[in-house]
Amino acid sequence: MLAIIGGSGLTQLPGLHITRREVVRTPYGMPSGALTFGELDGHAIVFLARHGYGHTVPPHLVNYRANIWALHAQQVSHVVSIATVGGIGPELRPGRLAVPDQIVDYTHGRETTCADYGNGDMVTHMDFTWPYCEEMRRHCMTALAACGEDYLDGGTYGCVQGPRLETKAEIDRMARDGCAMVGMTGMPEAYLARELGLCYAAIAASVNWAAGRGDSQQAISAEEINHNLEQIMGRVRAVLVSLARASYPEARPGG
Ligand code: HPA
Q: What is the pLDDT along the chain (255 residues), one digit of tens a residue?
A: 999 999 888 888 888 999 999 999 999 999 999 999 999 999 999 999 999 988 899 999 999 999 999 999 998 999 999 999 999 999 999 999 999 999 999 999 999 999 888 788 888 889 999 999 999 999 999 999 999 999 999 999 999 999 999 999 999 999 999 999 999 999 999 999 999 999 999 999 999 999 999 999 999 999 999 999 999 999 999 999 999 999 898 776 655
Strands 16-22, 35-40: pairing kind: antiparallel
- Protein residue with its CA nearest to atom 7 in ligand 1: 86
| Cα–Cα distance measured from residue 190 to residue 157, given in angstroms and rounded to the nearest whole number | 11
| Cα–Cα distance measured from residue 151 to residue 204, given in angstroms and rounded to the nearest whole number | 10
Give residues with Cβ within 8 angstroms of 214, minimum separation 6. Answer: 87, 93, 94
**Is the shortest distance between the CB of 184 and ligand 1 below 6 Å?**
yes
> Cα 153 to the chain's mean position, in Å?
16
**Is the shortest distance between the CB of 228 and ligand 1 below 6 Å?**
no
> Cα 90 to the chain's mean position, in Å?
22
CA 185 to ligand 1 center in whole angstroms: 10
**Is the shortest distance between the CB of 8 and ligand 1 below 6 Å?**
no
Sequence-distant contacts of 147-151: CB under 8 A, at least 24 apart: 147/235, 147/238, 147/239, 147/242, 149/97, 149/235, 149/239, 150/96, 151/96, 151/97, 151/98, 151/99
Domains in the chain: ranges and CATH:
2-116+129-244 (3.40.50.1580)
CB 102 within 8 A of CB 63: no
CA 166 to ligand 1 center in whole angstroms: 8
- Protein residue with its CA nearest to atom 3 in ligand 1: 183
